[in-house]
Structures are given as C-alpha cells and as structure tokens.
Structure 1
Amino acid sequence: MTPAEHPQPNAPADPASPAVELTPAAAELIRVLSAVHGPLMFHQSGGCCDGSAPMCYPRGEFRTGGSDVLLASLAVEGLDEPVPFWISASQYALWRHTRLIVDVVEGRGSGFSLEAPEGVRFLIRSRLVRQPAS
C-alpha cells in the first residue's frame, strides 16, 4: 500500500514535507552499505526494543505485503536508485502525524539490519507535523 492509497486524513499536513528524512550520517552510512550490498530498503516495524528500530536490508530480502505501507522512496546523493522506506500499517497508524528522521548512533543493535557489523545502528527520531484529530 502506498501513501497515496490512504484516505486524506492520513496525509501529512504539508505535502511538500517529506514523511521520512535522513541525517547526513545516515545518508553516508547508506552509501557505504550500498557499495557493499547493492540496492537497499528499510522496514520500520512496531515491535519493541530493537524491533522498533528501522531495519536496513538488501532490497528484496525482506518481504513486504498488505500489512506494510511504502512511506517514502529516499533519494540519497551518490546513489542511482532511491531507497524504499516501508513501515508496518499498524505503526503507520500511530506515527502518521510525525516526520521520521533516520539517524545513526554508536552501538550495535540486535537484529538483522546491515549496519550491525559496523558498530553503529540506525535510529528513528521524530517530529510532530500536525496534531492528531480528536
């Protein structure tokens, strides 16, 4: 399911604002990982602990389906192809009022995300872009 397939109430307050953005550190790590693993993708689940961190996989290694939303296709300077950013539909319902900011911090996560061997992990920061309707 793409963001365009969602009803208007789920649309960001400012359509020109990206739903997902990258910090410079995250963009650099994506370039490094792409050079080693080829085209990449992200999936953001609604799990707990490290399950709530964005996971980076070689494109196609994580199967998405009807319970996932393609939130963004991230343009990364230096890469020929955008990096799809998927989110579980249940997590999208909770976070649809926020802009997700993909960042990198030191430390290893405990998942299958490609950055784990680098001694860093992707992390989501967020910014409220509009108040939820009551």
Structure 2
Amino acid sequence: MPHTGVPRRVEITAAAAGLLRELAAAHGPLIFHQSGGCCDGSSPMCYPVGMFRIGAADILLGELEVADIDPVPVYMSRSQFEYWRHTHLTIDVVEGRGSGFSIEAPHGKRFLIRSRLFSDEESAALRAAESAS
C-alpha cells in the first residue's frame, strides 16, 4: 500500500507475517478481528475469510500487506475503537497457546497486540484524514 502521509493504525511483525503465510497456505485468505476481551482477553483473532461475520458495528483498521498472500484486513468493534483510537497496534506472535478460536492455536503459537500511543503529529494527521473523508 503506498504511503499517504497518514499513519497506519495497524502493522505486523516479520515473525507474525511468517505465520500468516503458513496459515494462508493452509486456509486461504484471512482476516483479523481484534477481540474485545471475551474469550481471550484482547487478542487479535485470526480467521479464514467467511468464518467470522463482520457486522455494521465493526470498523476496518487497515489491511496488512504480507508478501505472497492476499492483504489481510484487520477489524475492531466501533465501541472498542473509541478506547483504542489513539493507539497504534502491531500484531506479533509468541510461543504458547491462547484460549480463543483463532486459527494459529494448533500451531502452539498465539497472536498478540503490542501497542503505543500515536504521537501528536500522527494524531493530527489521522484527524485531518478522518475529517476529509
């Protein structure tokens, strides 16, 4: 995706991208939904496209560009986004098994979120982009 000067809300580490390539080879196109805390805390849950229903209350945070696979959209509920809107998210992977329904669980790994607050400059660019759309 070309850089537009607007910061991305979500990115992925090289290790997590490697696991996504494995999962896409086995399951086809994928999506993430940032869990709201029910079954597995607030973990990013990975699903094959069509296995998780995205609704009107979900928003698209962005798409992960990973070599050799289709872009992977990342969603979050609108109500949860109100709490996280000032935060940049990075999807990473660690050894261990989560307790949710995410498709990496059988691999002995789990996705997790690393976060940081947007800088004042990044926040201003995001606000400008939102008001322009």
Q: Secondary structure at the match of 2:40?
A: helix
Identify the match of residue 50 of structure 1 among 19, 37, 40. 40
Q: Measure, in 2, the Cα distance between the counterparts of 1:62 and 1:46.
A: 14
Identify the match of residue 115 of structure 1 among 98, 104, 110. 104
Distance 1:17 1:114, change over 3 A: same
Identify the match of residue 37 of structure 1 among 1, 14, 27. 27
Q: 5+ unaligned residues in a row in structure 2: which ranges?
A: 124-133
- Are 1:20 and 2:5 an aligned pair? no
Q: Percent identity?
A: 62
Kindly provide the CA deviation profile for residues 59-116 of structure 1, in whole angstroms up to 9, marking residues without a partner as x.
Answer: 111001111111111111111x210100011111100001100000110001110100
Measured after TM superposition, the shift of residue 130 of structure 1 is 3.8
Kindly provide the CA deviation profile for residues 27-56 of structure 1, in whole angstroms up to 9, marking residues without a partner as x.
Answer: 000000000000000001221561410000
Q: What letter is aligned with 1:121?
A: R
Instruction: Report if aligned partners of 1:46, 1:90 keep a CA contact under 8 Å in 2.
Output: no
Could you state the TM-score of these two structures normalised by the residue count of structure 2? 0.82
Q: Measure, in 2, the Cα distance between the counterparts of 1:112 and 1:89.
A: 21
Distance 1:46 1:130, change over 3 A: farther
Could you state the TM-score of these two structures normalised by the residue count of structure 1? 0.82
Instruction: Report if aligned partners of 1:41, 1:83 keep a CA contact under 8 Å in 2.
Output: yes
What does residue 90 of structure 2 align with?
101
- Are 1:91 and 2:75 an aligned pair? no
Measured after TM superposition, the shift of residue 16 of structure 1 is 2.7
Instruction: Report if aligned partners of 2:31, 2:73 keep a CA contact under 8 Å in 1.
Output: yes
What does residue 59 of structure 1 align with?
49
Q: Kindly report the root-mean-square deviation, in angstroms, between the aligned alpha carbons of the 2 structures.
A: 1.7
